[in-house]
Amino acid sequence: MTSPSSTGSAPKPSNMPFEWLVGLRYTRAGKRSGRNSFISFISAISMAGIALGVAALIVVLSVYNGFQKEVTDRMLSVLAHIEMYDVRGGGMKDWQAVARQAAQHKEVRAAAPFVETQAMLVHGSDKLRPAIVRGILPEYEGKVSGVTRLAKQGSFDALRPGSYNIVLGVELAKALDVTVGGKVAMALAQNGTNPAEALSAAPSMRIFTVAGTFEAGHNEFDAGLAYIALEDGERLLGFDGPFGLRLRVADTQRAPYVAAELKQIMSGGMLVRDWSKLNANWFAAVHTQKNMMFIILTLIVAVAAFNLVATLVMTVTDKQADIAILRTLGASPASVMKIFMVQGALVGVLGTLIGVTGGVLLALNVDVIVPAIEKALGMKFLSKDIYFISAVPSDLRWSDVGTIAATAIGLAFVATLYPSWRAAKVKPAEALRYE
């Protein structure tokens, strides 16, 4: 019969594999000697480095996502989600029928006709600027984009057929040195019947009255876009109808899929492009920059993770006698290797968890933290006089958090392989020779 004293309050044996138990013990390196304390300190530094790297990655990518979302939203205030063009030329004579056909798609919410051309705008004798001139129906355009709500002076309602009014981007108006009520001349290239005629023909000119200005918050549009009435544009270009249709869909992220489906179901020769294709170069550049930023900041995590190599090598050297005893008691080289892999992996996991927690908290509170830092330093990171975005935005994406955490843990695990392999190669007889 077992005596009570044998069971008493003694801890029950754990069901955890002994490799985990020993690895956990080594992770909590004791303070019996200066060497053990130093190893523990280096391990803590490695953990802190991983945590800081992970937190920095999460915050920087969240801010980067925030800027991208902010700029995209401002672009979509002017751009339509999808644009459809009649590639046969001459204008879309029955655009209402085409709009009804497009509206049969369950995700299409609105459609608006437009014409578009490149022109040279001239004011006075020395002020001229190239611009994209877009002819619209204001009552329809307001349903597919937010540009009609961005008027800074005047109104888009002044774009009535035959009025030859024009609404300019604020930067374009500044460059032309023109205000509301002023006159600008629009020069358009003549369409010749052959290349020689097109080159020799003088450009056609038309005087427009500035009826207003708009500010989209994106320099490409504010400095290079102008709006006129749809019929005025058709008359200038010699079209029998609009150039195409601009569509709004329920979900902007699904615009590429909706565009592909519309291309299949629309009759006639239609070219369909979504908003990401209309600015493909910009979005490709943003994607490349984000990937490069991820790689650069991952190197910080890599440096911290590979500090584990030094920590584990020192631990293996310090614990050679323990390894020899374990081998003598029957532990296999694989078990010894697992012990040190557990030790290194735990440091990596704990550092990653701390970094993820801190990074997420910082990313979610950027709008509070940044103003507090600006107030403390007495400076503004994004001046309203220089930047269109005056506040630092943040858009935390859990997919990024998962990728960062997995990368950090993976790097920490890789860093454990060599020291653990060295521990498994320790020969008991040689390790105990001088003990």
Q: Give the HSE-up count for residue 298: Cα atoms under 13 Å, Cβ half-sphere.
A: 18
The token pair at 135 is 């002819």
Distance CA 323, CA 328 (A): 9
Cβ distance 400 to 293 under 8 Å?
A: no
How many C-beta atoms lie closer than 10 Å to residue 122's C-beta? 18
Q: How far is CA 108 from CA 86, 162, 245, 249, 299, in A?
A: 18, 31, 12, 4, 44
Look at residue 33 in the predicted model and tell me its pLDDT.
47
Distance CA 343, CA 421 (A): 13
Instruction: Tell me if residue 263 falls in helix, strand or coil.
Output: helix
Cβ distance 208 to 184 under 8 Å?
A: yes
Look at residue 228 in the predicted model and tell me its pLDDT.
95
Look at residue 287 in the predicted model and tell me its pLDDT.
78
Q: Using one digit for the tens of pLDDT, what is the confidence trace for 293-344?
A: 888 888 888 887 777 787 778 777 777 777 777 777 777 778 878 887 887 8
Higher pLDDT, 20 or 176: 176
Look at residue 37 in the predicted model and tell me its pLDDT.
65
Is it the case that residue 178 has pLDDT exceeding 90?
yes
Give the DSSP letter string of 319-354.
THHHHHHHHHTT--HHHHHHHHHHHHHHHHHHHHHH
Q: Using one digit for the tens of pLDDT, what is the confidence trace for 246-260?
A: 999 988 888 889 988
DSSP 17: -
DSSP run (H or E) holding 52: helix 34-76
Look at residue 435 in the predicted model and tell me its pLDDT.
55
Higher pLDDT, 229 or 343: 229
Share of the chain above pLDDT 70, in %: 83
Say what the pTM is: 0.68
Closest CA to 231 of 162, 277, 310, 174: 162
Higher pLDDT, 334 or 183: 183
Of 181-195, 217-231, 284-298, the one with minimum mean pLDDT is 181-195
Give me the mean pLDDT over the 119-135 stretch.
90
Write phi, then psi, for 24 (nearest 5 degrees).
-65, -40
Give me the mean pLDDT over the 197-214 stretch.
75
Look at residue 2 in the predicted model and tell me its pLDDT.
45
Of 115-124, 132-141, 241-250, 377-386, the one with minimum mean pLDDT is 377-386
Is it the case that residue 292 has pLDDT exceeding 50?
yes
Look at residue 6 in the predicted model and tell me its pLDDT.
44
Look at residue 5 in the predicted model and tell me its pLDDT.
44
Look at residue 35 in the predicted model and tell me its pLDDT.
53
Is it the case that residue 367 has pLDDT exceeding 80?
yes
DSSP run (H or E) holding 248: strand 244-249
Q: Most confidently modeled of 6-20, 197-211, 394-408?
A: 394-408
Of 39-43, 104-108, 176-180, 347-351, the one with minimum mean pLDDT is 39-43
Look at residue 91 in the predicted model and tell me its pLDDT.
73
How many C-beta atoms lie closer than 10 Å to residue 410's C-beta? 14
Average pLDDT over the chain, rounded to an integer: 81
Cβ distance 274 to 283 under 8 Å?
A: no
Give me the mean pLDDT over the 118-141 stretch.
91
Instruction: Tell me if residue 135 falls in helix, strand or coil.
Output: strand
